[in-house]
Amino acid sequence: MNIIEVKDLVKKYPAFELKEVSFGVEEGRITGFIGRNGAGKTTTIKSMLNLIHTDGGSISFFGMPLSSNETEIKKRIGYSTGTVNWYPRKTIRDIVRVERSFYDSWDGEAYLKYMEMFGLDEDKTPLELSEGMKVKFNLLMALSHRAEVLILDEPTSGLDPFSRNELLEVFIELKKHGVAVFFSTHIISDLEKCADDIVYISKGRIVAAMPKDAFMAEHARPGETLEAAMLRMEGGEINA
């Protein structure tokens, strides 16, 4: 079943517009959200989280409209936008002490597991973390309250190849437990390793929203990778 439904989403800016964006995200699947810079990925994600005002369309989670169930829904989802500016001089321990108070479902065992996996130190402050470690800290916070949905905007940004692969393995393990993972990325090879479905946006409209295998069968030429197919399509082969 679709755990997220985005229908006819419209957002208008002076120089850009989301044009009736529609797609679904299924429970227990990893969905890769692809498109070049400025295509509308971050605008779509912010709309999905009610972080910006939209001009039309609807968004629902777990069969409930976001517009009237935002508090309940946000307790059941995790969000990460790569790096984030936490209190720079507070320790991770202090930040977590405050953060976990917002979630009835905070999982102390999961928190300790990902702390160890990501190699984080509770006595460090965000100011003392590298960009890659800041990404890991942000993901730690998203993963520690047993979220049923993860919405991630460039989550592997700043991570070295080993850490990226480690994170993809986390995603694969989470989906076995029914978690839906929706993430945007410019590192298309990551999607080739783990994605079940592809949502492809170009110039504010959805070009394709389908299982990865179906996307490759429909859009890729023999021998092409997902990245090569996308680059070719962006080069002018997308139907207007």
Divide the 240 residues of the chain into consecutive groups of 10 and give the mean pLDDT of each group. Answer: 95 96 97 94 95 96 96 91 75 93 90 91 92 83 90 84 87 91 92 95 96 95 93 71
pLDDT of residue 237: 54
Q: What is the pTM for the complete model shown?
A: 0.88
Q: How far apart are CA 58 and CA 178, in angstroms?
A: 24
What backbone phi and psi angles, to 5 degrees, belong to 118?
Answer: -85, -5
pLDDT of residue 85: 67
pLDDT of residue 143: 86
Task: Compute the 3-state secondary structure of the chain and give helix, strand, coil in percent, each to the nearest 5.
Answer: 40, 25, 35
- Residues near 227 by beta carbon (within 8 Å), at least 6 away in sequence: 188, 189, 192
- Token code pair at residue 175: 């989906």
SS3 19: strand
Rg, Å, the chain Cα set: 18
Q: How far apart are CA 215 and CA 232, in angstroms?
A: 14
pLDDT of residue 66: 97
pLDDT of residue 136: 84
